[in-house]
Chain A
Amino acid sequence: MTSDRAVWTDAVLAHGVGSRADLPVPVWLAITGGACAVIVSFAALGLLWPEPRLREDAGRPLPVAVQVAVDHPVTTWVLRAVVLVVTVVVVLVALAGPTLPEANLGVYGFYITFWVGLVPVSLLLGPVWRRVNPLRTLHALLARLTGPAPGADRLDRVGMWPAAVALLLYSWLELAYPGRSQPSTVGLFLVFYGVVQLAAGLWFGPGWFARGDGFEVYSTLLGRLAPIGRRTDGCLVLRNPLHGAEGTPPVPGLAAVVVVLVGGTAFDGVTRTQWWQDGPGRAGDSAGLFATLGLLDTVGLVAVLYVVATALSGRISGTTGGPARYAHSLIPIAAGYAVAHYFSLLLLDGQRTWRLASDPFQTGLDLFGTAGNLIDYTAVSPRLISLVQVGAIVLGHVLGVVLAHDRAVRVAAPRRALVAQYPLLLVMVAFTVGGLGLLLG
Chain B
Amino acid sequence: MLRVVPVLALAAALAGLTACGSTAPGTGADDSASSAASSAAQSGTPEPTVGTEQATSAAPSAAPQTETGHVIAVAVTAGTVSGETGRVVVELGSEVRIEVTADTTDEVHVHGYDLTVDTVPGQPVTVEFTADIPGVFEVELHESELLLTRLQVQ
Contact = CB atoms under 8 A, between A and B. Distances in A.
A155 interface: no
A34 B18 contact: yes
A361 interface: no
Contact of A19 (B10, B79, B80, B111): B111
A432 B138 CA distance: 28
A284 B81 contact: yes
Interface string B128-144: 00000111111011100
A296 to B, nearest CB: 22
A170 to B, nearest CB: 21
B25 A440 contact: yes
Contact of B86 (A100, A278, A440): A278
Contacts of B7: 42-43, 46-47, 418
B33 interface: yes
Interface stretch (B39-47, B119-127, B145-153): B145-153
Contacts of B138: 11-13, 19
A195 interface: no
Interface string B66-90: 0000000010000111000111000
Contacts of B17: 429
A277 B10 contact: no
Contacts, number: 141
B11 A30 contact: no
A20 B136 CA distance: 6
Interface string A274-297: 100110001111000000000000
A31 B23 contact: yes
Contacts of B140: 11-12
A418 B18 contact: no
B87 A274 contact: yes
A275 to B, nearest CB: 9
Given A35-B22, A36-B18, A47-B4, A9 B86 contact: no
Nearest to A376: B133
B29 A441 contact: yes
A27 B29 contact: yes
B26 interface: yes
Contacts of B147: 8-11, 283
A283 B149 contact: yes
Contact of A20 (B25, B26, B137): B137
Contacts of B53: none
Interface in B41-69: none
A382 B29 contact: no
Contact of B111 (A20, A284, A437): A20
Given A19-B112, A47-B4, A285 B26 contact: no
A284 B82 CA distance: 8
A40 interface: yes
A23 B26 contact: no
Contacts of A24: 29, 33
Contacts of A30: 22, 26
Contacts of A23: 134-136, 152-154
Interface string A3-18: 0000111111100000
Contacts of B149: 283
A437 B26 contact: yes
27 contacts: A10-B147, A11-B142, A13-B138, A23-B134, A27-B29, A27-B30, A34-B18, A39-B15, A43-B7, A46-B7, A272-B136, A274-B29, A274-B86, A277-B86, A282-B85, A283-B81, A283-B149, A284-B81, A285-B79, A285-B81, A285-B146, A382-B134, A418-B7, A429-B14, A429-B17, A437-B22, A440-B30
Identify the 10 closest CB pairs spanning chains A and B, nearest first.
A278-B86, A11-B145, A27-B26, A19-B111, A283-B85, A21-B136, A35-B18, A46-B7, A283-B81, A20-B135
Interface of B: 3-4, 6-8, 10-11, 14-15, 17-19, 21-23, 25-27, 29-30, 32-33, 74, 79-81, 85-87, 111-112, 114, 133-138, 140-142, 145-150, 152-154
